[in-house]
Amino acid sequence: MNKYKNQYHSLVSSSKWSTMVRKRSTTLTLFFIIFLSLISFGIFVPVFALLPSLSSHSLHHHQQQLLPATKKNHGYARKFEISDDKFWKDGQPFQIIGGDLHYFRVLPEYWEDRLLRAKALGLNTIQTYVPWNLHEPRAGTLDFEGIADLVSFLKLSQRLGILVMLRAGPYICAEWDLGGFPPWLLAINPAPRLRSSDPAFLQLVERWWGSLLPKVAPLLYGSGGPIIMVQIENEFGSYGDDKAYLHHLVSLARKHLGDEVILYTTDGGFRETLEKGTIRGDAVFSAVDFTTGDNPWPIFELQKEFNAPGKSPPLSSEFYTGWLTHWGEKNAQTSADFTAAALKNILERNGSAVLYMAHGGTNFGFYNGANTGSDESDYKPDLTSYDYDAPIRESGDVNNAKFKALRRVVEQYSSVSLPAVPSDNEKKAYGSIHVTKTGNLFELIRYFDVVKSDNPISMESTGQMFGFLLYVTEYTAKDNGGESIVSIPKVHDRAQVFISCPSEDGHGKPTYVGTLERWSNQPLTLPNTKCLSNISLLVLVENMGRLNYGPYIFDRKGILSPVSLDGRILRKWKMYLVPIINLNESPKINPIIRAANSGVITMSAHKRLKLKSGNASKEPAFYAGYFYISKEDIIKDTFISLSGWGKGIVTINNFNIGRFWPLKGPQCNLYVPAPVLQNGKNVVVIFELESPNPELVVQLVDQPDFTCGPRKLNVHQL
pLDDT at 705 exceeding the cut of 70: yes
pLDDT at 46 exceeding the cut of 60: no
Q: Which class for 264: exposed (0-12), middle (13-18), buried (19 or more C-beta within 10 A)?
A: buried
pLDDT grade for 55, boundaries at 50, 70 and 90: very low
CB 677 within 8 A of CB 652: yes
Q: How far is CA 337 from CA 346, 404, 406, 679, in A?
A: 15, 10, 8, 42
pLDDT digits (tens, 9 = 90+) for 281-293: 899 999 999 999 9
Which residues are within 8 A (CB) of 484 and not within 5 positions of it... i.e. 6 or more apart?
475, 478, 525, 526, 565, 566
CB 548 within 8 A of CB 369: yes
Same domain, 253 and 377: yes
Question: Among 299, 287, 361, which Cα is nearest to 100's?
Answer: 361
The conformation of residue 178, written as its DSSP 8-state character, comes to G
522-525: which pairs have CB atoms within 8 A and are 24 or more residues apart? 523/485, 523/486, 523/487, 524/485, 524/486, 524/487, 524/497, 525/483, 525/484, 525/485
Q: How far is CA 198 from CA 187, 201, 300, 460, 554, in A?
A: 16, 5, 33, 21, 14
DSSP string, 280-316: -SSSSEEEEE--TTS-HHHHHHHHHTTS-TT----EE
pLDDT at 217 exceeding the cut of 90: yes
Mean pLDDT value of segment 460-480? 93
CA dist 709 and 704 (Å) reads 15
Residue 415, classed as helix, strand or coil, is coil
Same domain, 476 and 382: no
pLDDT digits (tens, 9 = 90+) for 541-572: 999 999 999 999 999 999 999 999 999 999 99
Residue 166, classed as helix, strand or coil, is strand
Same domain, 432 and 302: no
Peptide bond into 493 cis (omega under 30): yes
Q: Around Cβ 534, how many Cβ atoms within 10 Å?
A: 13
CA dist 668 and 664 (Å) reads 9
Mean pLDDT value of segment 524-532? 87
Question: Among 540, 417, 528, which Cα is nearest to 488's?
Answer: 540
Same domain, 280 and 349: yes
What average pLDDT does the chain have? 87
Cα torsion angle, 517, 664, 386, 326, sign = negative
CA dist 598 and 591 (Å) reads 10
The reported pTM is 0.89
Position 533 scores a pLDDT of 84
Query: H or E element: which one contains 717?
Result: none
Q: Please tell me the total number of residues recorded for the chain in this structure.
A: 718
Highest mean pLDDT among 33-37, 63-67, 263-267, 517-521: 263-267
Same domain, 649 and 555: no
Which amino acid type is present at position 420? A
Mean pLDDT value of segment 668-674? 98
Q: Is residue 73 part of a domain?
A: no
CA dist 79 and 222 (Å) reads 5
Of 169-178, 442-451, 594-603, 661-670, which gets the smallest average pLDDT? 594-603
Same domain, 466 and 433: no
Position 12 scores a pLDDT of 35
Mean pLDDT value of segment 111-124? 98
Which amino acid type is present at position 470? L
Which residues are within 8 A (CB) of 347 and not within 5 positions of it... i.e. 6 or more apart?
95, 97, 353, 409, 410, 412, 413
Same domain, 181 and 240: yes
Mean pLDDT value of segment 271-276? 98
pLDDT grade for 617, boundaries at 50, 70 and 90: low
CA dist 397 and 407 (Å) reads 14
Same domain, 623 and 637: yes
Q: How far is CA 80 from CA 93, 94, 229, 262, 660, in A?
A: 10, 9, 8, 8, 44
CB 435 within 8 A of CB 703: no
Q: Which residue has the higher pLDDT, 17 or 227?
A: 227
Position 105 scores a pLDDT of 98
Q: Is residue 247 part of a domain?
A: yes
CA dist 298 and 155 (Å) reads 37
Same domain, 382 and 458: no
CA dist 95 and 349 (Å) reads 10
112 flagged as catalytic: no
Pick the catalytic residue: 112, 233, 318, 329?
Answer: 318
Same domain, 465 and 544: yes
Position 64 scores a pLDDT of 39
Q: How far is CA 46 from CA 1, 362, 580, in A?
A: 32, 19, 10
pLDDT digits (tens, 9 = 90+) for 368-408: 999 998 899 999 999 999 999 999 999 999 999 999 999 99
Of 7-21, 143-157, 368-382, 589-603, which gets the smallest average pLDDT? 589-603
pLDDT at 592 exceeding the cut of 50: no
Mean pLDDT value of segment 11-37? 40
235 flagged as catalytic: yes
Which amino acid type is present at position 686? I
Domain count, the chain: 3
Which amino acid type is present at position 418? L
Side-chain-side CA neighbours of residue 706 (13 Å):
20
Of 389-398, 438-447, 603-612, 616-625, which gets the smallest average pLDDT? 603-612
CB 512 within 8 A of CB 496: yes
pLDDT digits (tens, 9 = 90+) for 473-523: 999 988 776 789 999 999 999 999 999 987 655 567 899 999 999 999 999
pLDDT grade for 618, boundaries at 50, 70 and 90: confident
Of 61-70, 72-81, 221-230, 327-336, which gets the smallest average pLDDT? 61-70
Q: How far is CA 528 from CA 223, 488, 501, 649, in A?
A: 72, 19, 11, 33
Pairing of strands 484-487, 655-660: unpaired
Mean pLDDT value of segment 67-75? 46
pLDDT at 25 exceeding the cut of 80: no
Which CATH number covers residue 494? 2.60.120.260
Q: Is residue 42 part of a domain?
A: no
The two counts, helices (H) then strands (E), for the chain are 17, 37
Q: Which class for 471: exposed (0-12), middle (13-18), buried (19 or more C-beta within 10 A)?
A: buried
Mean pLDDT value of segment 433-451? 94
Same domain, 368 and 468: no
- Domain span at residue 380 reads 88-411
CA dist 123 and 614 (Å) reads 56
Q: Is residue 375 part of a domain?
A: yes
Q: Which residue has the higher pLDDT, 15 or 227?
A: 227
Pick the catalytic residue: 81, 136, 235, 460?
Answer: 235
CB 246 within 8 A of CB 232: yes
CA dist 127 and 352 (Å) reads 13
pLDDT at 34 exceeding the cut of 90: no
Q: Is residue 7 part of a domain?
A: no
Mean pLDDT value of segment 214-227? 98
Residue 266, classed as helix, strand or coil, is strand
Q: Is residue 31 part of a domain?
A: no
pLDDT digits (tens, 9 = 90+) for 304-319: 999 999 999 999 999 9
Q: Is residue 183 part of a domain?
A: yes
The conformation of residue 417, written as its DSSP 8-state character, comes to P
Q: Is residue 257 part of a domain?
A: yes
% the chain with pLDDT above 90: 78
Same domain, 683 and 574: no
Question: Among 7, 387, 394, which Cα is nearest to 235's?
Answer: 7
Which CATH number covers residue 356? 3.20.20.80
